[in-house]
Amino acid sequence: MDKVWSKKAGQEIVSRLDKLFKNNIIRVRYWIIVNYYAPNHGYNLFFNIYRPYHFTRSISIGQLSNCSFEELIMVLNEIRTKYHFTFQYHHFSKDELRRLAREVNQ
């Protein structure tokens, strides 16, 4: 896997977000959950939508299997170029969380 793959994977996730994100609805909160999945050594990405008086929806937008941590950072930065959603990280070490906060959540 390389930089070209990371850019292509990020653009594919952005195209999925384009279909799901609706900017014309008021009081809706959007965020992305990035979950580390150890057996597959990969990451799952979920797009969450919360509307008042409705249940929260969590939609799978990507699965990055056999992906290194550096490639994950490149994919998240590619998503960040278009959308500035909040990222929540699950099952990461403290050092990885610090690095993600420094390099992705600028």
Residue-wise pLDDT for 23-44, tens only, equals 888 889 999 999 999 888 899 9
The model's pTM = 0.89
Q: How high is the pLDDT of residue 78?
A: 93
Residue from 29, 22, 32 nearest 52 by CA: 29
Q: How high is the pLDDT of residue 40?
A: 81
Side chain identity, residue 34: V
Give SS3 for 49.
strand
